[in-house]
Each structure stands twice: as structure tokens, then as C-alpha cells.
Structure 1
Amino acid sequence: MRNKTTKIALFILSGFLFYSCSLIKRVPDGKHLLEKNDIVVNGESKNTDELKAQLYQQPNSSILGYHLRLHLYNLAKPNADSSYQAWLDRKPGRRESLQKLLSDKQVQRLGNSFIVSGYSKFLKKVGEPPVIVDPARVRKSANRLMAHYYKQGFFRTKIGFSIDTLGNKKAKVNYNVTTGKPYVVDSITPYIATPVLDSLYQTTTKKSVLKSNKQYNESDFTEERERITTFFRNRGAYTFQQNNISYVVDTVNTGYKANVDLIIDDQTIREEDTTYTRPFKLYKIKEVNIYTKNPADESQAIDSTSHKGFNIFSTGKINYRSQALTNPVFIMPGSIYSDSTRILTSRYLNNLRVFDYPTIEYIIDSTNTNEGSLITNIYLTPRERFKFIASIDLTHSNIQDVGIEGSTGISIRNLFRGAEILDLTVRGNIGSSSDPDIADQSFFNILEYGADAKLSFPRLFFPFNTDIIIPKSMIPSTLMTFGISRQQNIGLDKESFSGVLNYNWTPKENVTARLDFFNIQYVRNVNPQNYFNVYNTSYDRLNDIANSYVGSINPDYFVPDDNPNNDKQLIIESGTDGFIDDVTSDAITVSANDKQDVRSIEERKNRLTENNLIASSNFTYTTTSRENLTDNGFFIFKTKIETAGNALALLSSLTDSGNRSASGNKTILDVEYSQYVKGEVDFIKHFDLKQGKVLAMRAFFGLAVPYGNSKSIPFIRSYFAGGSNDNRAWQSYSLGPGRSGGLNDFNEANLKMAYSAELRFDILGQLKGAVFGDVGNIWNVFDDQDDPDYTFNGLSSLQDLALGSGFGIRYDFNFFVIRLDLGFKTYDPGRPVNDRWFKEYNLANAVYNVGINYPF
């Protein structure tokens, strides 16, 4: 035993020494690999990301302490080309022998091949050279740290640094920062030469970022300069710029106080070789000219008109209604110049999608020298009216592992001369699903095709004026959509029709609102008789019950079999329906539990094979702090409320048709309409941990409550758990409800809770990694399900939350991300209470998820 321990210790020690030596393989003699930076501020170690960012040298990157990129770099040959040439000359006649087989040029080219030198170049590219301690850069880092604290008011900061060698060609750099007492802003005195600007400034002093008794911070001065400039330029100061604002800060003998003079001189004018100053002017808009053209008109004659003070010009006949051109323009004749109205006008015109990005030009009116006035010219270049569209996309969903979606159609712009856009498309999708319940097990076993018509209006299409509630500054739009589609090879197959009247607007920056005023969807199951072929679990449960009462059951219900020892198989659909009818009508006597199970199977079959008519309205509100695609620290908050069936219930009561289904529910066109209310909250938060690391979190809560004409939620509106964008330790639809253990083929319910956290980090170049944890489940509540294993029963049901964890790799192609996640069942509520933790935490029971883009 002692011998084994000694061998193990020697093996570990040898591995550690080999690892340490391999790190310094490319470190020259007399140099040192940077092992660590240690920053001590006022005697306290502070190695924050903010301070580390000030340093010119950082230790080599690592993944959980392992320097992968450094190791890859060290595997490369330093001079592969020279080594090849040396190898050719090492043995007499080797070069000549190769030249007899290959030409001289081919021999030289062989040295640049991947086998000889290409793999070394590749390793150097994806790897990372050792970071060698450079005293000059250490000194520059110390100066940068001093500047960092100086900008925060620590004007008497002292910086010391030292390089500690650690042996084995490694070193640590120590930075010792003594900040001293910070300076505090004391007096703030404005000196503004132009009276009109001084008057404007006095109205906004309360909003100043610079405050007395606040610690000096250079960023406050920059922010205040930007604030004042924006304030002035939105109130007529067209020629005012940020560099017109300067500061003088006095800290001499003030006792750690900074007296600030805010200086705004008059405008400097340069004319040829002459420079002079004059007071700034506040400009007004004298006239607004809108220029467009009609590509279809070859006459080149200038057509013009005026509308509400705007002048409209066109090369060729004007092809737009006047209101369509003036409504998106917020620069009004007679108004004060404002940057915000220019930006808003550009956004609105660009949002129309009928023009290229607009050009807005301001010209100072030379005829009015006493008062500042501007002539505004807006140039609009129409896009092609007819545009043929063809696209092909790689898709992924929770059921479809991979799919190829294609569409073709035509886009017609300015349909009614009011900047409307009509899109007509036909689409198709073939996909692959690994779901075992899909009968067709060929690779592409999902097929969907359909057609859509979309008509968009750059305004609210409503019979009443809505400007008071939703002004045009919120850039409102209307979208009418009609679509038909058919799905095949997914078992029951479906045909659907949908129609939507949708309104969109932006109440403020980074906030969007969407109202589906009318959303109707009709779904028809084409092959309901195929139910038990698709939902194998339901069939197996029913067949097991039937085999318990073989002697009492009509033998015609079973598939003929001469072997009496074999289990009988109910015939689909005559045998399964016949057996269910006999049990529910008491034609066959079975136990109470079996009778209840058969009734549950029948109810689920009826629910999943019934046609759905859903007429709903919903409102979605979304706000985000994300500024651009490279922003890694942001949040997205989205909430949605939806109601369905109220309009159809009113129509049914007014017509008093009396049409009811066999279950007693009201019908429209012989289809039971759904009635429910549904609410959702979705919150996503990303934390930028720097150096390629991001912590992403998502929390979701959703509840749908049936009422009136419904006892349950339509399948297409219900919730499910599991899949590549949900709890990745379970396959789609296989988790829940509650602690039932996912007994059905497609498990769904009307209450869902979910929370996910994921740490993302760089591995090599565009190759990324992640570790994640997913918590969540679904339950039945307020519907016709009363089994406690399926239902939410207060706080005690929170112990039914499933926990999955795992890791993944992703490759970023810039325009999309391919990811592979491996999920493990960490806590499984479907197992017995004392047997839920880590019972299937192994590769044999892992769930592999292939996805496109990040899950949240």
C-alpha cells in the first residue's frame, strides 16, 4: 500500500513538473513568463477587471487554470521552414533524390505544405505566445494606473512596482498604489459669452452632472459636456459643438477641493485667412423641401406640390400621396432646430422600407442675416417597387433537430401610394426529427408547406384618430397577415389557417409594444385516426389494460395471433376505440383504477385530435438595455397578456344558434372555440465578466387559465418543458407535468416555471464553451386535471422543479452560432422522493442538444 502511494505521488509530481516545463518551453533564457499581476491599493489587494484593464500585460489565458492556447503555441515548431531546409541538407544527396522525384519548385513548395510547416502556422494562429515580462511595459502599466486614479480625483497618487522572480523562468509583477485623499468638487462657476446660451443654461443647472461636494471624476466632466451640447442643439443652437465647452479646474491651496470654471466662448468664424468671433444664434426652420423621384417616369419633368407647409418635388410625376411623405417628417416649418427631430425623421423614413437611407441637409439662409434660419432639404431615393424574394435558411426547433426552410415570393412597395408594402410568399420546410414517435424514420421526416400574405402600413390602420394615445413620434405601424399551411409526416398531420391584425409602436428608445388586436387560428387534424400510431405511450398503457381482461373483450378488437402465449395487440383504430367505448359504457367490467386510466387516455386522445378554433387578442411589452450586438452586459424584459374566445362567445350569444358539441360546449362552424386568459413574464440578463466570459441568465413564468367554453388549454397554446432552448437534460415534451415522470409522448400543461444560468467563455478563436444549469417544470392548474402528481399544489410543488446541468461547445460564424450542449439529469422529480439526485448523471443517460444561436 505504501509502495502504491509513493508511485502515485511520484506520478503526480512528474506530471506537474512536465506541465510546468511545457509552459516555459518558448521562454528565452534570462526572460520570465508572466505568472500573475498583483495590484495592492492602499494596502488592500484589488485585482478587479477594471484595474486589470489598465495593465499592458496580462498572464496567458486559461480555461479552469489550464493554459490551452499557450500549450498549442508551444507545440508548434518555431521555424518550420528553416527546419525543413536543414533537414534537406542534413543528409548528402537527400535534396537531389527528392528533386529526381519532384521538380525543384515542388520540393520548395513541399516546405510550405500543411504536413511540413502548415500545422505549425495553424497552432501559432489558434495558440497564444507566452507573455514575457517586459519592464518597459510594466512601467507604462504603472503610469496608466496612476492616470486611472488621477481621473477619479486622486491627484496625489503614488505608484510603486516590483518584479518578483518565482523560479523556473516565471515571475510575478506587483503594483503598489497609494491614492491619498480624493479631491472634491467645490464651486462651479459658468462663464458663457453668448446671452441666449447663458439663459438656456440657467434653465438646466438642476440637471447638471457636476455637483458640489461630489468627488472629482473626469467622466462627469465629459458627460456634462455631452449633456449641455445635446440640450443646446435641441433648442436651436445648430452651430454649437462639444469642443465649444472647456473647463478650468483650480486645485492650488484649496484643501483637497476643486473649483471649476465652465467656459463657453462665442462662436469662432473662419473666412479664408480671417478669424473672428460672434455670439451663437438659435436657428429656426424656414422651409422644408422633400425631394423624391419616379423611376417609371422618363420625362424628367419636375413635378411639385405643397402640403401643410412642406414643399414636395419629384423628378417625374409624384408617385406618393403627400401625407405619406410628410407624415414621417418631424422637422416642421417655423419650428426651432433640433437634433432629436432630425434623428427621429431619419428613423421613421428608414423604417418605411420604401426608400434608401434618407439624406437630410440643412442650409443656413443667407437672405436672413439678422436672425438664424435654416432651409431643410430631405432627399429620398425610392427602392425598386417590385422585388422578388428567394431565401433558404437552416432552422432548428425543440422538435425539429435540423431543418431546411425555403421561400420565394414578391414584395410590392408603395402599393396604394401611401408607402404600404405587400409581401406574397410561398414557403416550404423539410426537417429531421429524432422523436421516436414519428413513424417515418427517414432522415427528413417532417414536411411543411404554405403561403402567406402580409400587408404593412406605416401608420395605425384604425377607424379613429389615435395620435393622442400613440403619437407618430412612436413610429406606429400596422401589419395584416393571412396564412395557410399544411404539415405532413408528423403523425396526425395538420392544416391551419391564420389571420392577424397587428399594431406595433415604440413608446421610447429600447422599448417596443405590440398589440395583436385580432388573431385567429384554425387548426384541423388531417389524420386523427392515426393517434395511437403517434402516441405510442398512450397505446401501450391502453393495450396493457386490455390484456388484463382478454377473456371479457371482443376478440375482434385484437390483431389475430395463433400463439396464445403472446400478448394481444389492439387493432388501431377499431380495437382501441371499441375497447374504450366498452369500458366507459360499462359493457366490460374493469377495476375503478383501470376505468379511470382508460377515461384519461380517451380524454387526452379527444383533446389532441380535436380541431382548434382560437380567436385571441394579446399585448406584448418589451424593454431592453442592449445597445448593439457586441454589448455583453444587458437585460431584456418581456411581458405578454392574451385573452381568447371572448369575441366568439359574444357572437355565439348574439346569434343564439344553439350549436353545441357532444361535450356540451358551444361551437362556431361545428368547431369548439377556445376560451382562456394567458400571462407570461420573460426576463433575460447578461453580465459581462470581461476577457471573453459572459454570465447569462433567464427566468420565465407563464400561466394560462381556461374558462367559459373550455376546460383545458389548446395543445398549440400550452407549455412544455425540455429541449435545446429549455431544460437541456430532458428532450422536448419529456419533462413533467409535475412529478408524473413524463409518462405521455408529448407532455404539456398550462403552468410553467423556468430558470437557466449559463457561463460562456472563449476556448480557441471562434470556438466557445459553456457550463450551464437549468431549473423548471410544468404543471396543470385550474383545468380538468386533478391528479396531484400532475397539478400544482402550492409551495410544496416547488420540490417538483427539475434540475439539469451540463456543458456545451459553440462555434461562432459571426452571422449565426452552432452549438452542442450535453445535459445531465441532476435532480429528477419523476423519480421517488429519496432517489432523485444524480441517479442518471452519466453519459449513457445524457441528452445531446444541437441548436442554432444561443438559447437566451
Structure 2
Amino acid sequence: MQKNEFLLHQNKIMVNGKESNLEELEIQLYQKPNSKLLGFKPRLQLYNLSKKNPDSSYQAWLRKKPNRIARMNKIYSKKQVDSLGHSFLVSGYSDFLKRVGEAPVIQDSAKVRKSQRRLTQYFFNRGFYNVKVEAKVDTLKNKKTKVTYSVKTGNPFLVDSISTKIQSSVVDSMYRAIERNSIIEKGKPFTAVMEDEEKNRITKEFKNNGLYYFEKTNIKYDADTLGTNKKLNIVVRIDDKKIKQGDSLITKPFKIYKVSRVNIFTDRQTNDKTAIIDSTTYKKFHIYSSGKLKYRPKALADAIFIEEGKVFSDNDKVLTGKALSNLKVFSFPRIQYVENNLDSNTLTANIILSPLKRRQFNIKADVTTSNIQDFGISGFVGITFRNVFKGAEILDFSMRGNLGSSSKLSNPDNLFFNVREYGADMKLSFPRIFFPFNTRRIIKKDMFPSTSITMGMSKQTNIGLDKESYVSNFYYDWTTTKGKEKKYRFDLLNLQFIRNLNTANYFNVYKYSYSVLNAYAQDYGANPDYLDADGNLTYSGALGFVNDVVDGSYNTIPYGSSVYRTINSIGERRKRLIEDNLILSSSFSFNLSSKKGFNDIEFYNIRAKVESAGNFVSLIARQFPTKFSDNGKKTMFGIEYAQYFKFELEYIKHLHIRRKSSLAFRTFGGIAIPYGNANSIPFSKSYFAGGSNDNRGWLAYSLGPGSSNSLNDFNEANFKLSANLEYRFNIFGKLNGALFADAGNIWNVYDNVEDEKLKFNGIASLKDIALGSGIGFRYDFGFFVVRTDFGFKAYNPAKEMEQRWFKDMSIKEGVFNIGINYPF
């Protein structure tokens, strides 16, 4: 800094004698102090470590001694000596420090005066017409300053009366019909924000009721404050439309326009009448094509809200554009209105469509790694067919595959790629409700309904049990956007068939369960046939040991003892996880969001889902001779079918605190209750706890159930409660930080689990809610956010009561999570 320069250390805003920390006031100031983190200014310190003019300093160093340049030129070429001035060691690190750092904010008197004027305007726009703003600069030690802005607002001016001066009788009568909903009210302040919102409201009402040429700028507000003792007389003034005629402007009253004709050009070039080859008329829609018409007229008409004979409405135009884009067979349409003649008060609507390619290919390839797969190559090939049946239907077909290498998988043939997975998927989408009965009265076309049919299969060979899966789904979805966005989805039939192909590999996958059994086998003895050469249980021998204990072959492990219950629990869970699953379910889900844009910081989201499975299969099974499994359960195609009821509810709230900081909260509850033909929930429909989007103090599947100490490597249950709280703040630039606390657990309830540690037993079980806490960092790339979290177990319910709090807070016990985008 120069001799007469001072570092701006603090801004202080006093409003009527009280300090204000409102962010909207702070952003009015032209100068803000250097950013702080925990009371320090790290970015300023980084900047100060850099050299102001490193290249000049280097040149001065070269010339400091007469023979230095000559000696350097003997060792290096002249070009190399010059380039050293731009190297990282000389100037590169300084440039880097300047980029990541922050230049000192030098207090500027001119900017202080500009800040005064902006604060004055801010309060003036909010009805404080006698506001006074003063600024005082205090000099602190170490060449720092503090600027205090003192605001005296006075009392706001309140609206005393509202009158109108509207030239057009049509506009006047229309205004009278909507003035009761005015945002401007008697007895309240008149602000610039209020004025702008009221102009937007009036303009929207007028343009949705036939005033085609009306604009927001046609509305003026006059506020008379003379001799009214801080009272305002508001005059709403709406003049006639101004039209340029020759070199002069003339005025004409606004008129209500109707749509007299709707033309749909299905090819971009067909708005040129010479290019029209095919045309048709459907329900007063005139449809044109440059070749043979490729779309069924009804499919196009269902997406158009502009109708012949209706009064012009800007909302109809917006809905039409959104609905046509939602078909996904056209790029965003152009909608043009043409006035038929000066006296007819009618418009012709021309809707010009640009078709997307009928077929589109999509090819992807990735190299991946994970905690299971050391190295993998995955590929995806997809093709999209648009307008399949000439009704804007979309058919997607794709195939996917993965080849990987895993050191965790037994590899007797010594193959490098010992992990394999492949699959195929098909999806057919209709831009309407595909149902035998008319549903228009319930689900209107402005809800953008669609019907989807999906089918898929996959087969995998990896470190797991190796699965073969077949899925099929028939579902409807629709959205309402009036007010807050509401999304609905009804899965009429969702079929899942999962078959485990390598059940003998179970104890190789669930190694924790194996290690527990092996330890007991060493302590209590086991059949020598179950042991390998080192005296450890073989994987097949582990199953034999479980069966022997459950059958009562070990007098040293009595029925009902803790050891017996543990071994029996491992055996029961094995049966559950190796079972083939046949699930035929129906579900209804609802999502309500107050989020209006991608960049919204403050919003809430509510999601609810109800699902029922097995009832339809049970009804079919009754019509045929019943076949039972070895477990005494009814089967369909030789497989026990699942039967359960499931309910989920999630609430998310994001609050903007100040500047670039916010608070995010989430709570979730879910329960799946087996009944009828089932006494447990399929693994794919159960809940787990832990992981980067749940309780970050635990790895995924490692928390719970209840107070159990992870009897399985992949723990699951049928009841879950969780809550998350995260404070997000900006560190500098695109780097953000977070402090978080995650609470929750999973339990078994109303199923066949007997171990009390795993079961939910009412309020008393809430003491088993785990608490994880930690710190995270996020880097915002714009399109996505890379996230890292360091979680610690603040309260661990798997330990004895006196050992639960803060016993696992060390770095060694911490869990590192990495993810894409925010956790909720």
C-alpha cells in the first residue's frame, strides 16, 4: 500500500441507531472488506505472499552485478535467460498466488459516497422518502479503516388513496374486475418492488384476456406527497396504445383480440406456402407439411392450447410451447401471431415446428474403479426412435456392458477380466394417458401427462452372488405447475424378477459373517469335514456349521443362548439374501417443490410414496392349484412371491442465511411391512444406512440394524428414520465448505427377525439413533458439484451405553466420502 492508503477493515451499517447485518443492505455497498474465514483473511495473506512485479525484480537482479548476465549467457542461451523471468520459480508462483488470493481492498472515499447514494435509494424505494444516510470513516491501527454508515429512515409514507386515469374503456372495465387483488393497499407503504410486482400482475391479467398489444410500460404510477402529512395519493395511469404512423405517433385505444385461425407447420420450411405438399384440418387446426404428413393430427392438437375462437391469451402461448417441447420430437417451437387487418380484432396464430432427427444414436464408454472393482471398462449403446406410431411416441433401446478386474473375487482361471455384466433396456413413451377410459376430467392436458412402458434384463458375474434380473414397468406421470410444482407418478404394474446364480459364494461376499462363524468354530469345535488345511471353515463348511448349530448338534451352544441367536441370525439372513425374488407391485408417488429455478437457494421439497406388492399375484394364484415352497410359502412359476405394504415420506428445507451461506435440512421416514405370503422384505426393497448421501459417519450398509454391531457386510432392514442438517458456506471463489450432522438408523419391525438388538421396540429404540458429524468441501464446476465429506461417529449405538459418545472421533475412525452434487 502507498503511504496515504488504508486497508478497509470493516463496514458497519446502523439503521435508526441499531446495527444491521442484513445481506440486502451489505450488497448496496460498493466496497467490502477482504473475505474472512474463522476471523482470518487467508486470501489476502496469499496475495501478499506474491511479488508485485516479479519479472521486473528478475531483470533488476540480473543487472545488479555487471558480470551476472554474461555468466548466465555462458550457461544458458540468451533466450533461456530471458524466459527464466516468466518461469514458475520467478513469476509463475506469484501469478498463481494472485489468482487464488485476493487483492487488498483500499478504502476509497469516492466509493463511500456512492455507497451512501445507493443506501439512500434503497430505502427511498421502500417508502422512506425522508431517509438520511451519513458515512463516517475511522482510522484504526496498522493502517486500517472502519466505515460506519448511519441511516435515519424516518417514518414511511403510507398509501392514503388510490385512483385511476385510464383512457380506454375496455382497459378500464378490465382493471375494475381485477383491482380487488391489487398488491398496493391503503394504509401500507408504497415501494418500488411493490410497484413492479403490481405492474407484472396487471400486465399478465390483461395479456391473458385479449389485450395482445399491451405491455408493462403502458402502466404508470404517480405518487402525490404534497401537503399530505406523509400520506400518498396514488394515481394508476394507463394511456392508450401509441402507434408510429409515418414520422409521427398517434394513439389508439386497446382492443380485445380473438384467434381466428391456427396454422401448424410441421416442417420449418412449410411456412412458405410454396413448399406445402400435404395438408389437413382437424378440430379447426390447419396442419401443413412439405411432404407426406408424418404426424397424427390428434397428437399435435393435444399439445396445442391456442384455439380458434378463443380470446388471445399469453398463457396459452406459453403452455403450447412447453407442451410441444415436452413431446421431445421437436426443438423449441416458434409461435407467431399475425393481425389479420387493422379493424378485424382477430389474429392468426402460426405455429412453426422444427422436427428433431427421427433416429438418434448414443454411444458411451467409461473407465471405472471402485472398492469392489480394481479396474473396469463399461460401454453403452443406445438408439432413440421418435414419432414411432405418428403420435409423437418415443422408443428408446439400449445395451450396456461392463468388463472388470477384481482381486477380491476368486479367480481359478487367472483371468484379468473376471467381472462381467451385460444388459438391455427398452422404453416406450406416449405423450398422453394410455388408458381404456377418458381421463381428461381428472388429468387435464395442461398437466403434460405421459405413459411409459419399460422392460429390461441384466446378468452379472462379480464378487457378489451373481444375479439375473428381469424388470418391466407400466406407469403414468403428470405435473401441475400452477403455484408450486407438483409431480405425480402412478406405477400401475411394476414387475421384478431376480434370480441369484451363485449362492455358494455367499460367505465369500459377506466376509464379516464368515469371520464371526469361523471364530465360533474355533471356540466350540466344528466337524473336521468343514475345515480346510489351516483349520479354518471352508465357505461351504460355514453353512454346514450353521445348520448343525440350529439343529442342536452342539451341546455347548444351547438353544436361545447369545451365541446360538447370533449364528441363527446369520443363517436366517443368508436365506433371505439368496432367495430368488418375484415382486409385482403398484405404487403412487407425489412430489411438491417450491423451487422455481436451478439457482434458487431458499425452497422446500416434500416427497411421499405408497407401494403395495403381491396382491395381484395372490389373486392370480388363487385361480390355479397352489404350489408351496420348502418354506411353506405360495409360489408363482416356482418362486415365492413377495407381499408387502410400503410407505415413505421425505421433507427437505433449504434456508438462505446471509451472503453465500445457507442451511439445508432433511428428514426421512420409511417402513415396509410384510404380510400374507411373506414374513420379510426382499433385499432390493429394504433400507440401509450410512454412505455419502445418508449418515456420513458410517460407510454404506455398515450402520445398524438397531444396536447390532454389523452382523453382515451389507446390513438392511425394513424400517428407517433419518435426519440431516448441513451448514453451507463459501470459502473463496468456487470452493465451498460445509459443517454437517447426520442422525438415523434402520430397524426390523413386523418381520421374522427375533434378535432384540435388531428390532424396533417403540420409543425406547430411539436411543439407538446414530449421530455422525463432520466437515466437507465442495467445488462448483457450474454443471455439477464435486463433493468430499469427512464424517465421524459422534454417537455409536453399536457400543455399550457408556462408550457411545465421542469414542470414535479420531482420524483413524473417520469415513471419507466423495460424491457428485449435494447430498440433498
Equivalent position amino acid for 1:348 in 2: A
1:218 aligned residue: 192
Equivalent of 1:646, from 608, 612, 615? Answer: 615
1:316-370 Cα offsets, whole Å, 9 max, x none, are 111111112221111001111101110000001111111111000000011xx43
Q: Note if 1:571 corresponds to 2:551.
A: no
Q: How does 1:439-838 map to 2 (within 5 A)?
A: 447-509=420-482, 510-550=485-525, 554-560=527-533, 568-573=535-540, 575-589=541-555, 590-592=557-559, 593=561, 594-655=563-624, 657-838=625-806
Equivalent position amino acid for 1:584 in 2: V
2:33 aligned residue: 59
What is the rounded CA distance, in whole Å, between the counterparts of 2:610 and 2:408 in structure 1?
A: 33
- 1:81 shift after superposition: 1.8
2:707 and 2:799 in contact (8 A); partners too? yes
1:398 and 1:724 in contact (8 A); partners too? no
- 1:246 shift after superposition: 0.2
Q: How does 1:106-125 map to 2 (within 5 A)?
A: 106-125=80-99
- 1:398 shift after superposition: 10
Equivalent position amino acid for 1:321 in 2: R
What is the rounded CA distance, in whole Å, between the counterparts of 1:801 and 1:347 in structure 2?
A: 46
Q: How does 1:202-351 map to 2 (within 5 A)?
A: 202-293=176-267, 302-351=277-326
1:306 and 1:312 in contact (8 A); partners too? yes
Q: Relative to structure 2, which stretch is displaced further, 405-414 or 763-772?
A: 763-772
What is the rounded CA distance, in whole Å, between the counterparts of 2:371 and 2:820 in structure 1?
A: 11
2:268 and 2:352 in contact (8 A); partners too? no
What is the root-mean-square deviation of aligned Cα atoms in Å? 2.4
1:398 and 1:732 in contact (8 A); partners too? no
1:776 and 1:801 in contact (8 A); partners too? yes
Equivalent of 2:145, from 156, 171, 181? Answer: 171
What is the rounded CA distance, in whole Å, between the counterparts of 2:433 and 2:649 in structure 1?
A: 26
Equivalent position amino acid for 1:534 in 2: V
- 1:396 shift after superposition: 9.7
Equivalent of 2:399, from 423, 426, 443? Answer: 426
Equivalent position amino acid for 1:569 in 2: N
Equivalent position amino acid for 2:714 in 1: F
1:398 and 1:723 in contact (8 A); partners too? no
- 1:851 shift after superposition: 1.5
What is the rounded CA distance, in whole Å, between the counterparts of 2:405 and 2:219 in structure 1?
A: 63
- 1:445 shift after superposition: 8.0
1:34 aligned residue: 8
Change (3 A) 1:70 1:506: same
What is the rounded CA distance, in whole Å, between the counterparts of 1:712 and 1:412 in structure 2?
A: 41
Equivalent position SS for 1:724: coil
What is the rounded CA distance, in whole Å, between the counterparts of 2:638 and 2:312 in structure 1?
A: 62
- 1:271 shift after superposition: 1.8
Equivalent position amino acid for 1:753 in 2: L
- 1:112 shift after superposition: 2.1
Equivalent position SS for 2:586: strand
Equivalent position amino acid for 2:704 in 1: G
- 1:775 shift after superposition: 1.0
2:648 and 2:668 in contact (8 A); partners too? yes
Equivalent position SS for 1:473: helix
Change (3 A) 1:120 1:691: farther
What is the rounded CA distance, in whole Å, between the counterparts of 1:405 and 1:315 in structure 2?
A: 43
Change (3 A) 1:445 1:342: farther
What is the rounded CA distance, in whole Å, between the counterparts of 1:394 and 1:224 in structure 2?
A: 55
- 1:115 shift after superposition: 2.4
Equivalent position amino acid for 1:621 in 2: F
1:438-477 Cα offsets, whole Å, 9 max, x none, are 6689999865321111111111111211111101111111
2:268 and 2:353 in contact (8 A); partners too? no
Q: Relative to structure 2, which stretch is displaced further, 742-751 or 326-335?
A: 742-751
1:9 aligned residue: none
What is the rounded CA distance, in whole Å, between the counterparts of 2:622 and 2:800 in structure 1?
A: 49
1:459 and 1:475 in contact (8 A); partners too? yes
Equivalent position amino acid for 1:375 in 2: T
Change (3 A) 1:146 1:483: same
Change (3 A) 1:806 1:852: same
Equivalent position SS for 1:682: strand
Equivalent position SS for 2:773: strand
Q: How does 1:361-440 map to 2 (within 5 A)?
A: 361-366=336-341, 369-392=342-365, 405-429=378-402
Equivalent position amino acid for 2:46 in 1: L
1:437 and 1:535 in contact (8 A); partners too? no
TM-score of the two chains, using structure 1 as the length reference: 0.91
1:565 aligned residue: none
- 1:388 shift after superposition: 0.9
- 1:549 shift after superposition: 4.0
What is the rounded CA distance, in whole Å, between the counterparts of 1:225 and 1:373 in structure 2?
A: 26
1:396 and 1:852 in contact (8 A); partners too? no
Change (3 A) 1:795 1:114: same
Q: Note if 1:200 corresponds to 2:200.
A: no
What is the rounded CA distance, in whole Å, between the counterparts of 1:478 and 1:345 in structure 2?
A: 19
Equivalent position amino acid for 1:591 in 2: P
1:67-101 Cα offsets, whole Å, 9 max, x none, are 11111111111111211221221121323333444
Equivalent of 1:183, from 144, 147, 157? Answer: 157
Change (3 A) 1:505 1:473: same
Equivalent position SS for 2:323: helix
1:228-283 Cα offsets, whole Å, 9 max, x none, are 00000000011000000001101111111111000111111112212111110111
- 1:405 shift after superposition: 4.9
1:624 and 1:637 in contact (8 A); partners too? yes
Q: Note if 1:153 corresponds to 2:121.
A: no
2:644 and 2:678 in contact (8 A); partners too? yes
**Percent identity of paired positions between Structure 1 and Structure 2:** 49
Equivalent position amino acid for 1:226 in 2: N
Equivalent position SS for 2:82: helix
Equivalent position amino acid for 2:810 in 1: N
What is the rounded CA distance, in whole Å, between the counterparts of 2:416 and 2:237 in structure 1?
A: 73
Equivalent position SS for 1:834: helix
1:3 aligned residue: none
1:503 and 1:516 in contact (8 A); partners too? yes
What is the rounded CA distance, in whole Å, between the counterparts of 2:782 and 2:207 in structure 1?
A: 37
Equivalent position amino acid for 2:637 in 1: L
Change (3 A) 1:196 1:294: closer
1:80 and 1:116 in contact (8 A); partners too? yes
1:616 and 1:645 in contact (8 A); partners too? yes
What is the rounded CA distance, in whole Å, between the counterparts of 1:227 and 1:457 in structure 2?
A: 36
Equivalent position amino acid for 2:291 in 1: G
What is the rounded CA distance, in whole Å, between the counterparts of 1:222 and 1:304 in structure 2?
A: 45
Q: Relative to structure 2, which stretch is displaced further, 330-339 or 777-786?
A: 777-786
What is the rounded CA distance, in whole Å, between the counterparts of 1:202 and 1:613 in structure 2?
A: 63
- 1:709 shift after superposition: 1.1
